[in-house]
Amino acid sequence: MLACLLLVMTMPLLIGIGLFLKSTLLLDNNSIINLLFSKTWKPLNQNFGFYPFIISSIWVTLTAIIIAAPICLLTAIYLTQYSKKYFLKIMHPVIDILAGIPSVVYGVCGVLIIVPFVSTIAPIFGKQSSGYTILSGGIVLSIMITPFILNILIEIFRNIPDELKEASLSLGATKWETIKFVLIKKASPGIISSIGLGISRAFGETMAVLMVVGNVTKIPKNALDPGYPLPALIANNYGEMLSIPMYDSALMFGALILFVVVLFFNIISRLTITKLEIY
Amino acid sequence: MMTKKTEENIFKVLMVLSTSIIICGFLLIMGSVLIKGLPTLSIEMLTEVPQGGYYFGKGGGILNAIVGSLYLSLGATFLAFIVALPVSLFMNVYLINKNKLLNVIRYLLDLLWGVPSIVYGAFGFIIMVYFGLRTSLLAGIITVALFVIPIMIRAMDEVFKTVPRGLIEVAFSLGSTKSETAFKVFFKQVIPSVVTAVLLSFGRAIGDAASILFTTGYTDSIPTSLLEPTATLPLAVFFQLSSPIPEVQNRAYASALVLILIILIISLLARIISNKNNLKKFNIKNAVNKRFIYYKNIRNNYNLSYKKRRKSQQ
Amino acid sequence: MKATETEIKINNLNVFHGNHHTLKNINIEIPKQKITVILGSSGCGKTTLLKCLNRLTDLYSNIKVNGEIIINGEDILHSKEDITNIRRKMGLLSQMPYPLPMNIYNNIAYGLKISGRKKKKYLNKRVEYYLKQINLWEEVKDRLKDPASSLSLGQQQRLCLARGLTVDPNIILADEPTSALDPVSSNAIEELFLNLKQHYTTVLVTHTLRQAKRIADYVVFMYLGEIIEQGPADEFFNNPKMEKTKSYLRGTSN
């Protein structure tokens, strides 16, 4: 039992060390600053600049969060404060099923619905687009992280004691004022951390994004440009990487970056909810 | 007074809109996969392996991927179960009084849960190379098991946490050894919920593609040993969709439909088991979501248990 | 002694939680500017009765309320007036202090801001006034910007009382306000009630008999959703009429 536990406990460390050891070959030959901020990605010429991929990842993640966060917040408030109880009961399986749909299926739906949609609306913004863009990736991601964020938010709002609501109402505040000034404020650490967790989830998501984002090694200038996020880079090149050791090492370094970023957001978010309980 | 009401009404409209967006998204996803996948779905697709020229639109099916996926997820779930069960029991029997340590463990597990599956994929690849394995069913099983273990431990942990303390204490006082108690009393009480936890993990395992991209390879035949590469459903969807030929793309939709159906059946099964057999009508998923609130209450819990101990000492 | 006026008149109040009949035929006349104590063991419907008074029962869809509650000649259960105005006439104090998730200053200012008073100068003055009224000013005047949860439980409960006073209510509703507090803080709260009595009608729910004896002017004794006996405090404690009351007084006073 203890052995199993120890094994599980050391897993984060093992993953980190494993990825790091594999990236040493690359790190020995390049400075880390150079790797993170260089814009040239030519594996055959030994040029490994991760900048375009990192920027793409940030773009896609931000787009997803900007879409998902307000929708989730509004829905969570609606479901916990306004709607009838049975409606929440109906919504629970819907959220659970959304959470259980595999990411390739989200990718398929993205290709079927979102990509053509983006392609048709692109001309409105004066752009011609195939639809395989950052925006498509963001939209697909936002649907994927919605059940994740929503579940947390619902739980947080449900856990606010009724007495707090009653206290505000008995001072003559309307229901909306109570929500706006008291409930949201009370829930704010939870809201922040749920968004943080959503970000970390979005940042590491691979398949669905890979299928709709275009995968062009170029620094995206707006949401209607194609992008090439880190996870997609790793997933797309797994076949070739064995032949060139440096390439292999570079992709492992990519995984290491992902790991560190996701871990960082996870830790920050979870600290927020424990430590930021000022009130 | 008027403006107060208008503001509330505007937000109410926005709330209803957001909720409907989510419901519409759900219906669109389900609907599109169904509409696109159903026409191509046939007995042939489900019962045959790809034949020559399958990837150019000729005959055959995706039986290799269906069976491969089932093998892979069964193996991974089994492997994860072997690790997860002792760990979660250990946490709830031996460490039950060590609140701080438990919190650290749960924290770590949740971090592991948050690690993206592609990172597990890369890590699994490293292990595979380290042990001199080639892309194979076994390598895939190990990778997916790593990815599922934290999920399963936390799900089981949530189940075990709800077992009344009194029950454990009574069992202890009857003189049974700790391990015996652990396995007998606990397990009888919570089998249905444990099964649910396992099923949920199975659902996770079968749906994930990024973690096995590196490790399972892909073949057109059904694997006959652990050391052979295998096809899987998520990758079948992925590869077929990237084909330029419309017939093959349609098969990707059908494969996606098969995948979704398997997952729906599993989660339905999990729901039925957790609702019917369990005394408390305990829902693991909800409990797992509660872990966030749990963090919030850590300090309170800690104080409470401290007070309890103080009381019992007096 | 001037004749007691009636502030709240409850006529034939019946409350159902789903199918469960929690309050049965409640009739009370609550005297003005006195402390009325509702006494009874836990689970007898005291809290529900209190929540009916400012219609917080509206929040729970499974609670049904029948009957009349007349305040100032108006039946608040069927009133067309805005519910927020009705609630504003009553300050509420709950079992545990639930300070709003804001700093100390804003906890007091919240009620004023909600009713549309936004001038900084006015707010400062009022906050000081109310904090002085509950004897908290000296303790917190240097840290008004601290979160309210940094106060001790007893201070928080007093803060909540002050918060209830800010909207200028006629009535204070208190639901076992001292049950979570240590004896010193409890005393402080009880003293406040006695001081505030001349301005406010107080309805206090409690299950501690000694507290009732210390501060009650009028006592209502409830048991399983029914009123067993009610009357002025002297009469109630010294000369109870009903058998149940007698055994209750005997059982818990020693």
User: What's the confidence (pLDDT) of residue B18?
Assistant: 95
Q: Are B193 and B275 in contact (CB under 8 A)?
A: no
Does the pTM exceed 0.80?
yes
User: What's the confidence (pLDDT) of residue C206?
Assistant: 87
Residue C231 placed within a domain: no
Q: Please tell me whether residue C13 adopts helix, strand or coil conformation.
A: strand
Q: Are B157 and B106 in contact (CB under 8 A)?
A: yes
Q: Is A28 on the interface with C (CB under 8 A)?
A: no
pLDDT average, residue stretch B172-180:
60
Which stretch of DSSP H or E encloses residue C219? strand C218-223
User: What's the confidence (pLDDT) of residue C252?
Assistant: 54
Residue C42 placed within a domain: yes
User: What's the confidence (pLDDT) of residue B292?
Assistant: 44
Task: Report which of residues B293 and B181 the model is more confident about.
Answer: B181
User: What's the confidence (pLDDT) of residue A117?
Assistant: 93
Strand pairing category for C63-71 and C74-75: antiparallel
Q: Return the percent helix, strand and coil in chain B, to nearest 5.
A: 75, 0, 25
The beta-carbon neighbor of A105 closest among B21, B127, B256 is B256
Give the pLDDT confidence of B44-58 residue by residue, as tens digits. 888 888 887 777 777
Strand pairing category for C218-223 and C226-232: antiparallel
Cβ-based contacts of A105 with chain B (< 8 Å): 29, 33, 207, 237, 256, 259-260
Can you give the CATH number for the domain in which C186 is found?
3.40.50.300
Cβ-based contacts of A154 with chain B (< 8 Å): 289
Inter-chain residue contact A169 with C84, CB threshold 8 Å: yes
The token duo for C106 is 């804003």
Residue C218 placed within a domain: no
| d(C-alpha C163, C-alpha A244), whole Å | 71
Q: Are A25 and A35 in contact (CB under 8 A)?
A: no
User: What's the confidence (pLDDT) of residue B42?
Assistant: 86
Place of tokens 């970000």: A199
Q: Is A174 on the interface with C (CB under 8 A)?
A: yes
User: What's the confidence (pLDDT) of residue B34?
Assistant: 93
pLDDT at B280 exceeding the cut of 60: no
Inter-chain residue contact C92 with A166, CB threshold 8 Å: yes
Give the pLDDT confidence of A26-75 residue by residue, as tens digits. 888 888 888 888 888 888 788 888 999 999 999 999 999 999 999 999 99
How many contacts does A have with B, using Cβ atoms within 8 A?
250
User: What's the confidence (pLDDT) of residue B303?
Assistant: 40
User: What's the confidence (pLDDT) of residue B142?
Assistant: 92
Which amino acid does the sequence have at A106?
Y
Q: Please, what are the averages of pLDDT over each run of 10 residues along chain C (254 residues)?
A: 72 87 88 88 82 84 86 82 82 87 91 86 91 87 88 89 88 87 87 87 88 89 87 87 84 52
User: What's the confidence (pLDDT) of residue B170?
Assistant: 63
Give the pLDDT confidence of A94-130 residue by residue, as tens digits. 998 999 899 999 999 999 999 999 999 888 888 888 8
Inter-chain residue contact B105 with A5, CB threshold 8 Å: yes
Longest dimension (CA), chain C: 57
Inter-chain residue contact B19 with A194, CB threshold 8 Å: no
Cβ-based contacts of A166 with chain C (< 8 Å): 51, 56, 59, 92, 94
| d(C-alpha B154, C-alpha B267), whole Å | 17
User: What's the confidence (pLDDT) of residue B179?
Assistant: 60
CATH code that applies to domain A48-275: 1.10.3720.10
Cβ-based contacts of C101 with chain A (< 8 Å): 164, 182, 185-186, 188, 279
Nearest CA to CA, how far is A64 from chain C (Å)? 30
pLDDT average, residue stretch A167-172:
88
Domain B60-298: which CATH class? mainly alpha
User: What's the confidence (pLDDT) of residue C2?
Assistant: 46
User: What's the confidence (pLDDT) of residue B311?
Assistant: 46
User: What's the confidence (pLDDT) of residue B174?
Assistant: 57
Nearest CA to CA, how far is A188 from chain B (Å)? 12
Q: B128 CB contacts (<8 Å, ≥6 apart)?
A: B134, B135, B139, B142, B143, B214, B215
Q: Are B255 and B237 in contact (CB under 8 A)?
A: yes
| d(C-alpha A194, C-alpha B217), whole Å | 36
Task: Report which of residues A172 and B285 the model is more confident about.
Answer: A172
Q: Is A177 on the interface with C (CB under 8 A)?
A: yes
| d(C-alpha C224, C-alpha B185), whole Å | 40
Inter-chain residue contact B253 with A204, CB threshold 8 Å: no
Residue C220 placed within a domain: no
Residue C29 placed within a domain: yes
User: What's the confidence (pLDDT) of residue B16?
Assistant: 95
Cβ-based contacts of A185 with chain C (< 8 Å): 100-102
**Domains in chain C: how many in total?**
1
Residue C117 placed within a domain: yes
Give the pLDDT confidence of B82-112 residue by residue, as tens digits. 999 888 888 887 777 788 888 888 888 888 8
Q: Are C143 and C104 in contact (CB under 8 A)?
A: yes
Pick among A7, A26, A74, A117 to test the B interface (most B CBs inside 10 A): A74
Nearest CA to CA, how far is C110 from chain A (Å)? 8
Residue C72 placed within a domain: yes
Query: CB burial class (10 A; 0-12, 13-18, 19+) of residue B205?
Result: buried
User: What's the confidence (pLDDT) of residue B33?
Assistant: 92
Pick among C83, C110, C130 to test the A interface (most A CBs inside 10 A): C110
Give the pLDDT confidence of B22-46 residue by residue, as tens digits. 999 999 999 999 999 999 888 888 8
Range of the domain at C81: 6-207
Cβ-based contacts of A181 with chain C (< 8 Å): 100, 110
Question: What residue spans define the domains of chain B?
Answer: 60-298
Residue C236 placed within a domain: no
User: What's the confidence (pLDDT) of residue A277?
Assistant: 55
pLDDT at B205 exceeding the cut of 60: yes
User: What's the confidence (pLDDT) of residue B185?
Assistant: 66
Nearest CA to CA, how far is C100 from chain A (Å)? 6
Nearest CA to CA, how far is A266 from chain B (Å)? 6
pLDDT at B284 exceeding the cut of 60: no
Q: B136 CB contacts (<8 Å, ≥6 apart)?
A: B215, B216, B217, B226, B227, B228, B229, B230
Inter-chain residue contact A161 with C87, CB threshold 8 Å: no
Nearest CA to CA, how far is B314 from chain A (Å)? 31
The beta-carbon neighbor of C101 closest among A84, A173, A185 is A185
Task: Write the CA distances from B184 to A14, B87, B187, B193, B276, integer angstroms.
Answer: 34, 16, 6, 15, 22
Inter-chain residue contact A172 with C114, CB threshold 8 Å: yes
* Closest residue in chain C to residue A175, using alpha carbons only: C84
Nearest CA to CA, how far is A230 from chain B (Å)? 10
| d(C-alpha A147, C-alpha B125), whole Å | 30
Give the pLDDT confidence of C144-192 residue by residue, as tens digits. 888 888 888 888 988 998 998 888 888 899 988 888 888 888 888 888 8
